Amino acid sequence: MLDVTVLTLFPNMFEGVFGESIFKRAVENGAARVNLVNFREFATDRHKTVDDAPFGGGAGMLLKAPPLFDAMAAIPRETDPLSRERVVLLTPQGRRFTQQVAEDFSRQSRLVFICGHYEGVDERVRQELVTDEISIGDFVLTGGEIAAMAVLDAVVRLLPGVLGNEQSAPDDSFSSGLLEYPQYTRPAEYRGLSVPPVLLSGNHALIEEWRRKHALYRTWVRRPDMLEHVALSVREQVWVAAWEQGDFSGIDVVERRDI
């Protein structure tokens, strides 16, 4: 059971995502539990202020430390120092989110997400409360909520019993270190476009080889950076060498290079 708490000023933003599909199933199956906390409730002044101007001047407002410290103190926490609890601040300054981070988070027992807003958060929140700062890419969102939803989606689908088909997670792009191979379903012939005959042959060894070759080829074209981390067999190295010479004779689904 993964216990998730989200500290946010906009809890309503999560309702659509948590109420549908895989997320809903994860909660119903008992794979995950989600708790939304509006930390504005922990502001102590009459106006429920959660932000203030930075010391030293400058544009923009910062999230104040006290409402976040008090919200963290109020939620259930793991007290065991060996506990698998992580407190994740979503911020464009964070470490880049990847499938590896999703796998790491999916092995925890408790995740707390702090959704930043405005120009940032008081540095003491980072120092004292946060174990991980995570960015979902090199662009700036107006707040951490959409980033937290993206991270949670990637994590929850890895929990045991959440995906209907247990096969689908390990085959994904990234877990093998390669992008996914091209896939087809019925009809075998559509608008003059036919499915590569190997896939209809029933020969599983050939199908496996075709898939590996096309996954590798697709990765070689689109994400050559990923190949630096994949160990290739001698045969696979021969395929790549042929493509590097401009020989695509074993390839059924030629890639456009501008995708």
**Using CB under 6 A as the criterion, which residues of the chain lie in contact with ligand ADE when the complex forms?**
90-92, 116, 135-137, 139-141, 144, 147
Smallest separation, CB 13 to ligand ADE (Å): 13
Smallest separation, CB 149 to ligand ADE (Å): 11
Per DSSP, helices labelled H in the chain are 15-18, 21-28, 65-74, 99-106, 123-129, 145-156, 168-171, 204-222, 224-227, 234-244
Which entry of 78, 85, 103, 119 is annotated as an active-site residue?
119
Which entry of 41, 123, 172, 247 is annotated as an active-site residue?
172
Which pairing describes strands 51-52 and 62-63: parallel, antiparallel, or unpaired? antiparallel
Whole-number Å distance between alpha carbons of 132 and 94: 8
Would you say 8 or 106 has its CB closer to ligand ADE? 8
Would you say 67 or 116 has its CB closer to ligand ADE? 116
Smallest separation, CB 137 to ligand ADE (Å): 5
DSSP codes joined into one string, 37-58: EEGGGG--STT---EEPPTT--
Indicate the residue whose CB is closest to ligand ADE.
Answer: 147
Whole-number Å distance between alpha carbons of 202 and 187: 16
CB 51 within 8 A of CB 61: yes
Smallest separation, CB 115 to ligand ADE (Å): 8
Residue 76 annotated to the active site: no
Residue 187 annotated to the active site: no
Residue 92 annotated to the active site: yes
Residue 157 annotated to the active site: yes
Would you say 67 or 144 has its CB closer to ligand ADE? 144
Per DSSP, helices labelled H in 75-165 are 99-106, 123-129, 145-156
- Residue 86's alpha-carbon distances to 79, 93, 96, 114, 195, in angstroms, are 12, 18, 16, 11, 46
Would you say 9 or 215 has its CB closer to ligand ADE? 9
Which entry of 3, 40, 84, 92 is annotated as an active-site residue?
92
Q: Which residues are catalytic?
A: 92, 119, 157, 172
